[in-house]
């Protein structure tokens, strides 16, 4: 099996399965933050509790406070114990059937009671789980489900976990002896014949359908489109009571050829993410999960690592549909603790259940190309770590023999070679910030396939070059693709007088999140994002930004995960006549920079220059214009980009992700707020106070900016613009009609209309 993975590893394409007889169970819950053991009972007065619709994260609703026990890891937000209750009537169609509740995720230590009786639950907050409630139901009567959620023991996570029933809940009905359990179904492409030269089509494909306890079924499909990031074609395949979204594809990993998708070499440009949704916290709304994937896709990524836990199912579905390859990761740590109450307290009793929950739930997604069994485990030098890794990896292979297993290894000393026995348990070795060891490791272990599972943003060029030049290094995953709550101040640059230092796990209050992402929480792509996309794409392209001068706001110090603060701005009041650097990233052979239509200079932007040109000039208000130049010295007009000094902000531009919403209580629209001057020029240094309000059948879920030091809670309808920008998330209700969102400053306002139907 090891040789199969390392030398050929033709992975079979997968599908995502969904049951027909299931109903979303998110509406009409009551919630109370506090611990009352009587709340488990069927007869209990919860009339004063808050009414809400799931998904729900109570931590993000709290205030940032340095005394909260989660500390900077959890974004200085509150945790605790909470209860959820809901009354429901089982439909008549459920008579004689098995009835289950399916929880996509509850953080954490959940206990599920039905009519006062303990029916199930799960301790690990990232695993999806079923609760069979058949024997607890009262036929023809009202039933009560109560869920206790205990996130009080801290710390149990190194990043922001959120608290509560933060993912969907479903009510499922199953008929005995039917094919209706999605976790028992495995659909994979057994063989593909006649792949086209461009890797987008095949003459035919054979699908193998496995269902626990039944003989495998083979189906042949003619003239199929193949799944890839550029061509994410899916087919609906019906198997019993289940429907599968299936993607035909083949994958090969080898040290000689690297990573081949449908017979073509693909270099993996990946980003790591945590599971939260920025200003929404951990609440896994479908639209929020799609937004994460879409932001990554637009930024040029073709892969994502779900560090360090199973993601929301809808995120994987989004990756299937838009074309993102996935490393699906199970755990952060194992038996040695990173935090007092982390997974080391659960692993001995629950590892098999949690591995099964990951693989059985997710193995039908075409986007997943690898499983990961861990990340930077503390016990990495101990002999028993090899046995733990092998046990986890073997279980993953037993449940899914079609994909390789990886792990993110790290070392901060000179004993890197000692990890060879641990790496030998894996099919692909993940390197965290250690890809500089690749060439010597290849000489020592020539059959090892590698990828960098975490890398510093500032090393974008060297990481791209390493992957581009070595077939046995198949990709790089930057830490991170998106900014996130928690791990406070990672990626920060510290101004003089602020808490400084490399120890980002220390007390950096009021920093409550990480600024290491290529994309900030408003969805704005930082300059490093554009640079990374230019590196990984050979298409002609150009991007320009300006480096903040040292000392402009104050003297600052960079940290390992930060990059020099660089902005799409030519507003540098007070810096007139002083030197300032303009950076241009380009795949054109040369670029030119103009100031007020006067040529400043021309520079090459080839690989030798790391596809980058830096022009230094003395600042004066006006207009910068950059343009790409081809090999014949001709300017490419469509490549031109300008930055113009603005006046004071006098108006707002509201840009929604959509203007029509489903009246289902789940739809979300993000509204980007940008401050402009009287001529419509963005004001990148504006910081006006913004007030948000709505009328009609919508509600404001959250507002905020990318400023990870802003202490305004995200759930309040106001925030202070940062770098001239803000974001607002608006949620639909179940009523139809026209709604209005108004954003005001003290001097001006703007309104947009949203329609729900």
**How many structural domains comprise the chain?**
3
Are 745 and 710 found together in one domain? yes
Half-sphere exposure (CA, 13 Å, Cβ side) for 425?
A: 25
Contact between 675 and 652 under an 8 Å Cβ cutoff? The reply is yes
| Diameter of the chain measured on Cα atoms | 82
What is the DSSP annotation of 563-603? ---EES----TT-TTSEEEEEEEESSSEEEEEETTEEEEEE
Picking from 138, 153, 174, the residue at the C-terminal end of a domain is 174
What's 620's domain CATH number?
Answer: 2.60.40.10
pLDDT at res. 494: 85
Are 630 and 688 found together in one domain? no
Picking from 174, 191, 208, the residue at the C-terminal end of a domain is 174
CA-CA distances (angstroms) from residue 458 to 88, 532, 561? 53, 10, 7
Q: Is residue 353 part of a domain?
A: no
CA-CA distances (angstroms) from residue 274 to 265, 315, 358? 28, 12, 16
Are 631 and 660 found together in one domain? no
Beta pairing partners, 252: 260
Q: Is residue 657 part of a domain?
A: yes
Half-sphere exposure (CA, 13 Å, Cβ side) for 32?
A: 17
User: Which pairing describes strands 737-744 and 29-33: parallel, antiparallel, or unpaired?
Assistant: unpaired
Euclidean distance between CA atoms 704 and 377, whole angstroms: 35
Distance between alpha carbon 646 and the CA centroid of its chain, in Å?
34
Q: Is residue 658 part of a domain?
A: yes
Contact between 525 and 299 under an 8 Å Cβ cutoff? The reply is yes
In 10 A of CB 651, how many CB atoms?
Answer: 17
* 3-class state of residue 323 by DSSP: coil
Euclidean distance between CA atoms 577 and 618, whole angstroms: 5
Euclidean distance between CA atoms 244 and 186, whole angstroms: 10
| 640-649: pLDDT as tens digits | 999 999 999 9
User: Can you list the residues of the chain whose pLDDT is less than 50?
Assistant: 1-14, 501-506
What is the DSSP annotation of 470-505? -TTEEEEEES-SB-EESSTTTT--EETTS--SS-TT
In 10 A of CB 348, how many CB atoms?
Answer: 9
Are 55 and 159 found together in one domain? yes
Are 683 and 752 found together in one domain? yes
Q: Which of 446, 451, 516 is nearest to 708 (CA)?
A: 516
* 3-class state of residue 642 by DSSP: strand
Are 130 and 27 found together in one domain? yes
What's 50's domain CATH number?
Answer: 2.60.120.260
Q: Is residue 722 part of a domain?
A: yes
Q: Is residue 690 part of a domain?
A: yes
Are 147 and 53 found together in one domain? yes
Residues 189, 192, 197, 199, Cα dihedral to 10°: 0
Are 664 and 745 found together in one domain? yes
Could you report how far apart the first and last alpha carbons of the chain are, in Å?
53
Half-sphere exposure (CA, 13 Å, Cβ side) for 169?
A: 24
Cα angle 702-166-52, degrees, rounded to a multiple of 5: 65
Q: Which of 269, 270, 392 is nearest to 333 (CA)?
A: 392
Are 605 and 744 found together in one domain? no
Are 591 and 732 found together in one domain? no
Q: Is residue 267 part of a domain?
A: no
Are 673 and 579 found together in one domain? no
* Nearby residues of 383 by Cβ (< 8 Å), 6 or more positions away: none
* Nearby residues of 505 by Cβ (< 8 Å), 6 or more positions away: 72, 73, 158, 487
Q: Is residue 62 part of a domain?
A: yes
Are 547 and 688 found together in one domain? no
Q: Which of 614, 610, 246 is nearest to 463 (CA)?
A: 610
Euclidean distance between CA atoms 145 and 139, whole angstroms: 14
What is the domain range of residue 635?
A: 538-568+572-644
Q: Is residue 7 part of a domain?
A: no
Euclidean distance between CA atoms 605 and 71, whole angstroms: 44
Picking from 586, 617, 644, the residue at the C-terminal end of a domain is 644
């Amino acid at each position: 099996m090891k040789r199969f993975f390392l030398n050929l590893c033709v992975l079979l394409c997968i599908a995502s399965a969904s049951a027909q007889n299931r109903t979303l169970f998110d509406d009409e819950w009551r919630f109370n933050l506090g611990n009352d053991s009587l709340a488990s009972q069927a007869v209990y007065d919860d009339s004063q509790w808050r009414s809400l619709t799931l998904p729900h994260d109570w931590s993000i609703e709290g205030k940032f406070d340095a005394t909260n026990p989660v500390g900077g890891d959890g974004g200085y937000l509150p945790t605790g114990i909470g209860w959820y209750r809901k009354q429901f009537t089982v439909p008549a169609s459920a008579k004689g059937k098995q009835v289950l509740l399916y929880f996509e995720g509850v953080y954490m230590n959940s206990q599920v009671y039905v009519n006062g009786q303990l029916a199930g639950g799960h301790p690990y907050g990232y695993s999806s789980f079923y609760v069979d409630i058949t024997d607890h139901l009262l036929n023809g009567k009202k039933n009560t489900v109560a869920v206790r959620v205990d996130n009080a023991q801290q710390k149990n996570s190194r990043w922001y976990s959120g608290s509560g029933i933060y993912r969907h809940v479903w009510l499922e009905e199953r008929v005995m002896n039917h094919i209706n359990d999605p976790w028992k179904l495995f659909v994979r492409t057994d063989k593909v014949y006649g792949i086209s030269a461009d890797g987008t089509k095949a003459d035919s494909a054979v699908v193998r359908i496995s269902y626990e306890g039944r003989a495998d079924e083979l189906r042949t499909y003619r003239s199929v489109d193949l799944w890839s990031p550029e061509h994410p074609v899916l087919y609906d395949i019906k198997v019993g009571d289940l429907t599968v979204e299936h993607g035909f594809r083949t994958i090969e990993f080898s040290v000689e050829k690297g990573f081949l998708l449908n017979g073509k070499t693909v270099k993996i440009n990946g980003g790591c993410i945590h599971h939260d949704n920025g200003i929404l916290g951990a609440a896994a709304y479908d639209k929020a999960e799609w937004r994460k994937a879409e932001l990554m896709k637009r930024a040029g990524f073709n892969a994502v690592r779900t560090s360090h836990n199973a993601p929301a199912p809808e995120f994987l579905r989004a990756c299937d549909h838009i074309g993102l390859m996935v490393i699906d990761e199970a755990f952060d740590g194992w038996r040695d603790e990173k935090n007092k109450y982390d997974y080391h307290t659960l692993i001995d009793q629950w590892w098999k259940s949690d591995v099964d929950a990951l693989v059985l739930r997710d193995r039908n997604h075409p986007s997943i190309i690898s499983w990961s069994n861990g990340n930077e485990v503390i016990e990495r030098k101990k002999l028993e770590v090899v046995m733990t890794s092998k046990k986890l990896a073997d279980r993953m292979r037993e449940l899914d023999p079609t994909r390789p297993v990886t792990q993110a290894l790290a070392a901060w000393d000179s004993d890197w070679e000692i990890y060879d026995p641990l790496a030998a348990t894996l099919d692909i070795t993940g390197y965290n910030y250690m890809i500089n060891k690749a060439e010597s490791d290849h000489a020592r272990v020539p059959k090892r396939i590698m990828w960098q599972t975490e890398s510093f943003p500032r090393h974008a060029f060297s990481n791209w070059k390493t992957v581009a030049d070595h077939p046995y290094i198949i990709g790089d995953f930057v830490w991170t693709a998106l900014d996130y709550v928690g791990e406070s101040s990672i990626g920060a640059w510290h101004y003089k007088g602020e808490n400084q230092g490399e120890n980002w796990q220390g007390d950096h209050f009021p920093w409550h999140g990480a600024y290491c992402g290529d994309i900030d929480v408003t969805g704005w792509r930082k300059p490093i994002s554009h640079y990374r996309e230019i590196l990984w794409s050979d298409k002609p392209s150009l991007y320009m930004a300006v480096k903040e001068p040292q000392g402009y706001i104050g003297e600052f110090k960079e940290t390992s995960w930060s990059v020099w603060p660089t902005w799409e701005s030519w507003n540098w009041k007070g810096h007139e006549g002083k030197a300032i650097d303009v950076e241009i990233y380009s795949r054109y052979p040369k670029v030119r920079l103009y100031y007020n239509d006067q040529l400043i200079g021309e520079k090459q932007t080839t690989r030798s220059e790391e596809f980058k040109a830096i022009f230094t000039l003395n600042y004066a208000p006006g207009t910068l214009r950059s343009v790409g130049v081809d090999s014949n010295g001709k300017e490419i007009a469509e490549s031109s980009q300008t930055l113009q000094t603005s006046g004071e902000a006098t108006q707002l531009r509201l840009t929604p992700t959509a203007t029509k919403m489903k009246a289902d209580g789940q739809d979300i629209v993000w509204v980007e707020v940008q401050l402009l001057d009287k001529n419509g020029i963005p004001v990148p240094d504006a910081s006006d106070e913004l007030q948000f309000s709505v009328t009609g059948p919508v509600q404001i879920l959250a507002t905020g900016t990318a400023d990870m030091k802003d202490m305004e809670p995200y759930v309040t309808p106001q925030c202070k613009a940062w770098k001239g920008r803000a974001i607002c998330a608006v949620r639909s209700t179940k009523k139809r009609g026209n709604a209005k969102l108004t954003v005001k400053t003290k001097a001006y306002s703007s309104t947009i209309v949203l329609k729900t139907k």
